[in-house]
Amino acid sequence: MEDRLARQLMEQPQFPVVADAASLARDPSQGPVLPAPALLQVLLATTEHAQIGVYAKDGDGRYVYVNPAAARMLGHEVGEVLGRGDDDLLAPDWANALKAADQAAWAQQHAQHRDDRLPGDDAGALDLVALRIAVRTDTGERWLCGTWTDVTETRRNQTVLRQALDQLEQQQRQNEELRRELSDQSVRDPVTGVYNRRHFEEQVHREVDLSMREHREFALVSVQIDDFRQLQQTHGSEAAERTLQALGRLLRSNTRAMDAPCRLGDDRFAVVLSGIGLATAHARMEGVRKQCEAQLVMLEGSELHFTVSMGVASFPHTAQDRALLLSSADLALEEARRRGGNSVMLAAIPFSPPAAPPPSPAQQA
């Protein structure tokens, strides 16, 4: 085979070898030249010791040249490869993939780059970066020349690194979720799962600031379980706790992420409804009241019921400062309880009479 290649090369007059091939293409006189046989010897000597696989195939797909690296990638010795095609050397799936790549290269007028895979050892397949270029001589012979660069270890390292980065990102997400969970626990009531008084104070302060700055409204609802102490005395602390838990679930399920259902005391709750007015807040809390009335609390096979009373106020329509807003909601709650409980009352909206007109000059006189 080398003799055949040598004859092909020697048919050419001379091959220049220079540091800058582009410059030489413009002006061959810029560099020294090697006779074709010498150039062939240099090229063959280089490829014989190269880690990159180098091969050439004839028009029928038979290997007419392979260097040791290419033969090793094919899983054979050099002598076992020469004169044989991929069908003779590889299993059908592997051979068909190489032949498809060869056909694509034959159809191109320029070098083709792609990834190839060859069966490797027990560690897995070889990942190869491939270069193919089809050559047609003046006599009509077709040759396919190619190289394989083994990037298996690089790809495996990249995979390991990517997995490590994915694991690190997952750990960071878990840490962030844990941080949020711990932070959330610090403002949650452990029995009911709603927010505690500290968060309630912060949320009301925040909503007042937003309302004054952005001219928006919000509602505050005071909530109390009817006859809670009697329930506790009659059925015990476990029944009371389950009732609190049931109310907590209903408040959480009927409020949005921007709202704040909170527990303020034993049987006292409050709900901050962000960005809604008095009428909407009343309608929503009326729905919660009905759900509480229909809720069953199971205790040792027995069914317990509970109801709630609510007072609804809004900022700035009911009150225009924080303290007055809280007292307005509490007064509405007291009115709901005074009427027998199991009801939702609206806080009174203060009426401000129009200012008297200024006295006329005649009146002033």
At 28 the pLDDT is 47
The pLDDT tens digits for 146-158 are 999 999 999 989 9
Closest CA to 290 of 312, 307, 270: 307
Which residues fall within 8 angstroms of residue 309, CB to CB, at 6 or more apart? 223, 224, 226, 333, 336, 337, 341, 342, 343, 344, 345
Q: What is the mean pLDDT of the chain?
A: 86
CATH of domain 52-150: 3.30.450.20
d(CA 75, CA 77): 7
The full DSSP string for 240-280 is: HHHHHHHHHHHHHHTS-TT-EEEE-SSSEEEEEETT--HHH
The pLDDT tens digits for 232-245 are 999 999 999 999 99
At 32 the pLDDT is 55
The pLDDT tens digits for 331-352 are 999 999 999 999 999 999 876 5
Residue 197 CB burial class (10 angstroms; 0-12, 13-18, ≥19): middle
At 352 the pLDDT is 58
Alpha carbon 308 to chain centroid distance? Answer: 42
Q: pTM for this one?
A: 0.53
At 239 the pLDDT is 95
pLDDT band at 302 (very low <50, low <70, confident <90, very high): confident
Upstream peptide bond of 316 is cis (omega within 30 degrees of 0)? yes
- What number is the average pLDDT over the span 37-54? 86
At 226 the pLDDT is 97
Among 74-78, 174-178, 304-308, which is the least confidently predicted range?
A: 174-178
- What number is the average pLDDT over the span 14-22? 38
pLDDT band at 29 (very low <50, low <70, confident <90, very high): low
Residue 327 has pLDDT above 80, yes or no: yes
Residue 361 has pLDDT above 60, yes or no: no
Neighbour tally for 158: CB within 10 Å:
11
The structural architecture, per CATH, of the domain 192-346 is 2-Layer Sandwich (3.30)
pLDDT band at 256 (very low <50, low <70, confident <90, very high): very high
Question: CA 126 → CA 99, 163, 288, 323, distances in Å?
Answer: 17, 20, 65, 74
The string over 243-256, giving b where at least 16 C-beta atoms fall within 10 Å of a residue's C-beta and e elsewhere, is bbebbbebbeeebe
The pLDDT tens digits for 269-289 are 999 999 999 999 999 999 999
Among 9-18, 120-129, 161-170, 171-180, which is the least confidently predicted range?
A: 9-18
Question: CA 75 → CA 51, 149, 177, 192, distances in Å?
Answer: 15, 15, 50, 68
The pLDDT tens digits for 223-235 are 999 999 999 999 9
At 141 the pLDDT is 86
Share of the chain above pLDDT 70, in %: 85
Residue with tokens 């180098």: 54
Q: Which regions of the chain does DSSP assign to beta strands (E)?
A: 15-16, 33-34, 53-58, 63-66, 112-121, 124-136, 142-150, 218-225, 260-263, 268-273, 297-299, 302-304, 308-315, 344-346
Domain coordinates in residue numbering, the chain: 52-150, 192-346
The pLDDT tens digits for 196-224 are 999 999 999 999 999 999 999 999 999 99
Which residues fall within 8 angstroms of residue 10, CB to CB, at 6 or more apart? 36, 37
At 3 the pLDDT is 55
At 355 the pLDDT is 47
At 110 the pLDDT is 85
- What number is the average pLDDT over the span 84-104? 95
d(CA 289, CA 251): 10
